[in-house]
Amino acid sequence: MISDPIKLGLAAGWQHINGAQLAADLQLQADVVVIGSGAGGGTSAQILAEAGFKVIIIEAGPLKSSSDFKMQEKIAYPDLYQQSAAMKTKDGAIAMLQGRCVGGSTTVNWTTSIRTPEPTLTHWQQHFGLTELTRQELDPWFEQTDKALNIHQWQMSPNQSNDVLAQGCQQLGWDHTVIERNVNGCANLGYCGMGCPINAKQSMLVTTVPAALNAGATLLSYTEAWQLQHSDNKVTVILCRTRDTNHQRRDINISISAKHFVLCGGALHSPALLLRSKVPDPHQLIGRRTFLHPVLINISEFDRTIAAHSGAPQSIYSDQFLWPTEDEQRLGYKMEAAPLHPILLATKLPLLGEQHAELMQSFQHLQMTIALLRDGFGPNSPGGTVELDKFGDPLLDYPLNELFWKSARHSAIHMAKLQFAAGAKRVALAHDPLVWVNSVEEAELAFNELTLQKYQTIVSSAHIMGGCGMGASPELGVVNANGEHHQLENLSIFDGSVLPTSLGANPQVTLYGLARRNCTKLLQRLSQQA
């Protein structure tokens, strides 16, 4: 019998208010309100609550636990993801995966744990004045994170899907690395994206959020942070709307007053909250420079069984093409494997009817290599902009320009080289029409002739960053290197929205480390004021 720490905690008296069940409006008071319960929010809530501050955590999604995780896509996607894992950019050209539950995306990510690349930090230092954010400064915080979340290099052999990456790189002499993962007692199931049913994934759901609740914090679930009231350079109250279990808005509202507010709503919802609240924005930076790692997908078929649904979803990556020279004039990209589950795969195949069904029959023999493009490092990679729709909800406008498509073509050809080197019998870029090739030579010819453009070429992302970027001055960022808002003195932002560019690495470790560093600095400040 798997112990369920959430049920045990609730039985022991955790303070939890389920917004879907609230019968009347509510007014609350706290020392600190933490908006969001993901990488930044969970980390911050634990630090502040264990220091004795009265903390309220606001989460728009549900409180779920291992007892709810049935390893079924039809249950997990509506329960745990924004828009049932069907969220897209404003024009519908890019699919985006983002968690919406206690623990945020840490509850549903694939556990890949990579520190901020040093070239990324150097770029931030040179272009955003973030001179204090060096690896020497950040590594101690990453080390604390490693210890707290049991981050370590994966010791088991890679599953067949990731072994394609390893074999292909070995054959071609390309760089590749065994991934570090935040797991403890992992059974190598492969269903990380649906919530860990044995609590092995060290997400915020089973680590920092329970620690904060044990220390006396209050958790509001199904509660959406809607608007900040502010005056005299301070936030005074946050107004929240509750939602029902179908995520529809209810007429029951919650208002919370506090001394300090920590915003960790993610790179879509943090900018959206600031925009709805008409927070001072003298340089029109809120929502701008929002970045994805836009993902291109190569599907390959093997004679041997791959079973890409089984085993650790990601255990190998390659940075062979992550840091191009200026002469190459393309975006860098990281190569990883992606797990295949029936719904996830089906939505990435630009096929209909019999053709779609026929390829799904080869499910056990299919492998998916992905290229995560590194956006935001030059004038021709400006990213996108978070806007508000007519209901006040965030939309991400994310144009894909010529440089992106040039880089996409480069990645498709080189992923094909890798897959063929690992023994694939045929490869296709996820593109409409789906063009299968049987050799590297065919791939170079066919992929160079394809008209790559939105709606035809499948582009997706699970990493959303920026929109409230860090900068040394108000002209360069919404917050400073410590996550302190440049205009509102009692507002801090400790989530992925503060990243000035994309990372070139899966974001969670960067977010844990920055939140741990910056919240510790906030704790010192608040303790002096107390």
Q: What is the CATH number of the domain that holds 316?
A: 3.30.410
Beta-strand pair 249-263/316-321 = unpaired
Q: Are 65 and 111 found together in one domain?
A: yes
Q: Are 334 and 250 found together in one domain?
A: no
The H-or-E segment that residue 239 falls in is: strand 234-243
Closest CA to 240 of 254, 258, 221, 250: 254
Residue 381 lies in a domain: no
Q: Show which of 453, 482, 515 is a domain's final residue.
A: 453
Q: Show which of 435, 453, 471 is a domain's final residue.
A: 453
Q: Are 363 and 423 found together in one domain?
A: yes
pLDDT for the residue numbered 82:
98
pLDDT for the residue numbered 235:
99
Separation CA 490–CA 471 (nearest Å):
18
* Torsion angle (degrees, nearest 10) of CA 97, 38, 322, 92: 20
**What CATH number should be reported for the domain holding residue 521?**
3.50.50.60
SS3 454: coil
Residue 335 lies in a domain: yes
Q: Are 406 and 281 found together in one domain?
A: no
Closest CA to 101 of 132, 75, 138, 137: 75
Q: How many domains does the chain have?
A: 2
Q: Are 413 and 503 found together in one domain?
A: no
Residue 314 lies in a domain: yes
What is the residue range of 42's domain? 5-150+202-290+463-529
Residue 87 lies in a domain: yes
Q: Are 431 and 468 found together in one domain?
A: no
Positions of E strands within 264-361? 290-292, 295-301, 316-321, 333-338
pLDDT for the residue numbered 529:
87
Q: Are 502 and 410 found together in one domain?
A: no
pLDDT for the residue numbered 95:
98
The length of the chain is: 530
pLDDT for the residue numbered 410:
98
pLDDT for the residue numbered 381:
95
pLDDT for the residue numbered 2:
83
Indicate the burial class of 289 (C-beta count within 10 angstroms; 0-12, 13-18, 19 or more): buried
Asked if the peptide bond before residue 433 counts as cis, ω within 30 degrees of 0, the response is yes
Residue 193 lies in a domain: no
pLDDT for the residue numbered 327:
86
Q: Show which of 421, 453, 485 is a domain's final residue.
A: 453
Q: Are 40 and 177 found together in one domain?
A: no
Q: What is the DSSP letter of 83?
A: G
CB 74 within 8 A of CB 241: no
Q: Are 29 and 86 found together in one domain?
A: yes
Q: Are 239 and 140 found together in one domain?
A: yes
pLDDT for the residue numbered 138:
99
- As averages over each run of 10 residues, the pLDDT of the chain (530 residues) reads 91 98 98 99 99 99 98 98 98 98 99 99 99 98 99 98 99 99 98 98 99 99 99 98 97 99 99 99 99 99 99 99 93 98 93 92 98 96 98 98 98 99 99 97 98 98 99 99 99 99 99 99 93
Residue 190 lies in a domain: no
Residue 232 lies in a domain: yes
Q: Are 284 and 303 found together in one domain?
A: no
CB 393 within 8 A of CB 90: no
User: Which token pair is 427?
Assistant: 């490869």
Indicate the burial class of 472 (C-beta count within 10 angstroms; 0-12, 13-18, 19 or more): middle
pLDDT for the residue numbered 3:
87
Q: Are 445 and 485 found together in one domain?
A: no
Separation CA 18–CA 487 (nearest Å):
33
Residue 61 lies in a domain: yes
